[in-house]
Structures are given as structure tokens and as C-alpha cells.
């Protein structure tokens, strides 16, 4: 069932394609080949879909010390959204190749940060769309001129200084979306330092998914997060390696009924940019 602000199923999106107030965004990205997503979109995409590039459109690499995918400025984000034909009044659907982690959930989170409520992630992504035999197109869409003015909600972002100030707070409140081996510090294939923020909890973002790449039902997610967090229900925050897969937890927690969850967008790669910050391994 479609819930604007959460998830939309492929059949539901197919039924509303072409609506004047709808914009679809293809967010496919491959960390190993940063241009692969754009090539895939150019070859075939959901009809009418624009392309969003994680590095170019959803990050600002000029912001040093804020991790591998720093948040773009709100003004720059708004200018890009307007160029895509998105206004605050539009319904937006975001998708990627499959589970939403690279990087559809990132765009979902950025829009929510701007106060955009009518944004939904295509559950199962392009993989689910193709499995149902739904159509693709290779024609670039036409963006109608529009305007977008908004600012980020500061209550939904947590800074490194705020994380430092809360290190000894209990019960645990910071959830790390990386794979367990990276969280423990057993391996680190991307960042120069292995480990995690002291006191953080680990829940790999893949735990949010059913076997077909779609999200688990809301009641299952709610029970699993409750078991992880114990008595903690408020002032939660999520992180990962660079602030991308953390957004999968933002969406999963939203679907599960948690509100006000904060995004530590700098995440692990931002945390370790200062060697004086503590690191835990276990």
C-alpha cells in the first residue's frame, strides 16, 4: 500500500505515471564505478524518470572534513530540484537498482530534510519493476520550469560535536548501518580507520529487507528496532560509512513509526577525519 512519505509499490507507481504533479527520480549509483548509474539511466529507465547522481547532485565534495559524501547546501539542493522540475507541491518517487540504499533513500532523506512530505521510495526499485514486466524508456524527460525554496530542518541533523557531547549517554541512541565486520573493525575496505563510534549500536541496513529486496512490513521493523533499542524511543540518530546507507535506516524507522530520528550525515568517514576522536573496536 502506498504511503506518501514512505514506500510505494511498483504497481501503484505504474498506475499514476504521467500525472502532472508527479516527478520520478532514478538514483542508481555504483561506488566502484561512479558513472555506471548515469549510463544505466541513459540506456533505460522508468518512463519520465530524471537522473540523480550521488556525487554530483546529492553531495558537496567541497565541504572537507564532513565525510565521503557531505551534505549539499540547502540552497544548492533547491536549485537542482527546481532544474529537475520539482516544486514543493510535487509528489516525488525515488528509486535505484534494487533495495533503495544506493542512493534512492539518500534523496528521500534530503527531501524530507527540506520539509518535502510527498516523497516515496519505490519498494524493490528497478529490480521489482522489471520483475513485474513494467515498461522502460530511454528518452530523456522534459523538466518544466519551476521554483523550490526551503531550508533544512536543523532538528533532523546531528553534528559531530553533538555526537561527541552524547558519547556517554545511555541507553544507546546511535545506530550504525554498516555491515557487522566493518562495525567491529575486523575489516575496512573503504575508510582509512576501522571501528565504530563508542557506544553505537550496529544494525546493517540489509536487516531492513525481505528476501526480494523490498522492505520488511512495518510491524516487523517496529519489533526489530524495539528489540535493538530497548527502552530508548526518542533522540535517536543513524549513521553509516559516509551518510548514504544510513538513510535506509531513516526510511525504515519512519515506516516503523519512529519520529524525529536524526541523521549523522558526516558518519564514520567524517568522524575519523580528526584522529583525536575516539574509536571503538569489538
As to burial, measured by CB atoms within 10 angstroms (0-12 exposed, 13-18 middle, 19+ buried), residue 37 is buried
- Reported confidence tier of residue 1, pLDDT bands at 50, 70, 90: very low
pLDDT at residue number 3: 60
4 pLDDT more than 80: no
Rounded mean pLDDT of 203-218?
A: 97
Same domain, 169 and 254: yes
Distances (CA, A) of 185 to 77, 92, 100: 34, 38, 25
- Give the residue among 181, 187, 182, 175 at the shortest CA–CA distance from 249: 175
Q: Are residues 41 and 147 in the same domain?
A: yes
User: What is the average pLDDT across 240-247?
Assistant: 98
> Which domain, by its residues, includes 101?
7-152
The 10s digit of each residue's pLDDT in 178-201 is 999 999 999 999 999 999 999 999
Confirm whether 27 is a catalytic residue.
no
Residue 190 shares a structural domain with residue 65: no
> Are residues 90 and 142 part of one domain?
yes
d(CA 160, CA 165): 9
Indicate if 58 and 193 belong to the same structural domain. Answer: no
pLDDT score recorded for residue 99: 98
- Of the three residues 98, 120, 152, the one that is the final residue of a domain is 152
Domains held by the chain: number: 2
pLDDT tens per residue across span 91-107: 999 999 999 999 999 99
The enclosing domain of 72 has a CATH number of: 3.40.250.10
Segment 74-88 mean pLDDT: 98
User: Is 143 found in the same domain as 11?
Assistant: yes
Q: How far is CA 147 from the centre of its chain?
A: 24
Q: How many CB atoms lie within 10 A of CB 272?
A: 19
Residue 85 pLDDT: 97
**Final residue before a domain boundary, out of 106, 123, 152:** 152
Per the domain annotation, does 280 fall within a domain? no
- Catalytic, out of 27, 78, 84, 240: 240
150 grid coordinates: 526551503
Look at residue 209 in the predicted model and tell me its pLDDT: 98
Confidence of residue 5 (pLDDT cuts 50, 70, 90): confident
Q: Where among 130, 152, 174 does a domain terminate?
A: 152
Residue 195 domain-assigned? yes
Kindly state whether residues 267 and 206 are assigned to the same domain: yes
Q: Does the pLDDT value for residue 175 go beyond 80? A: yes
Kindly report the average pLDDT of the chain as a whole number.
97
Q: What confidence score (pLDDT) does residue 249 get?
A: 98
Amino acid at each position: 500500500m502506498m504511503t506518501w512519505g514512505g514506500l510505494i509499490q511498483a504497481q501503484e507507481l505504474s498506475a499514476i505515471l504521467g500525472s502532472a504533479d508527479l516527478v520520478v527520480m532514478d538514483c542508481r549509483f555504483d561506488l566502484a564505478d561512479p558513472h555506471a548509474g548515469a549510463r544505466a539511466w541513459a540506456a533505460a529507465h522508468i518512463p519520465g524518470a530524471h537522473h540523480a547522481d550521488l556525487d554530483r547532485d546529492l553531495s558537496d565534495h567541497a565541504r572537507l572534513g564532513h565525510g565521503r559524501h557531505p551534505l549539499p547546501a540547502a540552497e544548492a539542493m533547491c536549485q537542482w530540484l527546481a532544474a529537475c522540475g520539482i516544486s514543493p507541491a510535487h509528489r516525488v518517487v525515488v528509486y535505484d537498482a534494487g533495495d533503495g540504499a544506493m542512493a534512492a533513500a539518500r534523496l528521500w532523506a534530503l527531501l524530507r530534510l527540506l520539509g518535502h512530505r510527498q516523497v516515496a521510495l519505490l519498494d524493490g526499485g528497478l529490480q521489482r519493476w522489471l520483475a513485474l514486466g513494467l515498461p522502460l524508456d530511454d528518452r530523456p524527460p522534459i523538466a518544466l520550469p519551476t521554483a523550490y525554496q526551503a531550508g533544512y530542518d536543523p532538528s533532523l541533523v546531528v553534528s559531530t560535536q553533538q555526537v561527541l557531547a552524547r558519547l556517554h549517554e545511555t541507553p544507546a541512541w546511535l545506530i550504525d548501518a554498516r555491515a557487522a565486520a566493518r562495525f567491529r573493525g575486523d575489516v575496512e575496505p573503504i575508510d582509512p580507520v576501522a571501528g565504530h563510534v563508542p557506544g553505537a549500536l550496529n544494525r546493517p541496513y540489509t536487516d531492513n529487507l525481505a528476501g526480494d529486496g523490498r522492505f520488511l512490513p512495518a510491524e516487523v521493523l517496529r519489533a526489530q528496532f524495539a528489540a535493538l533499542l530497548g527502552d530508548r524511543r526518542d533522540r535517536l540518530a543513524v549513521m553509516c560509512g559516509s551518510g548514504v546507507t544510513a538513510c535506509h535506516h531513516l526510511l525504515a524507522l519512519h515506516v516503523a513509526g519512529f519520529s524525529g530520528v536524526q541523521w549523522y550525515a558526516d558518519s564514520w568517514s567524517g568522524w575519523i577525519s580528526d584522529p583525536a576522536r575516539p574509536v571503538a573496536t569489538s
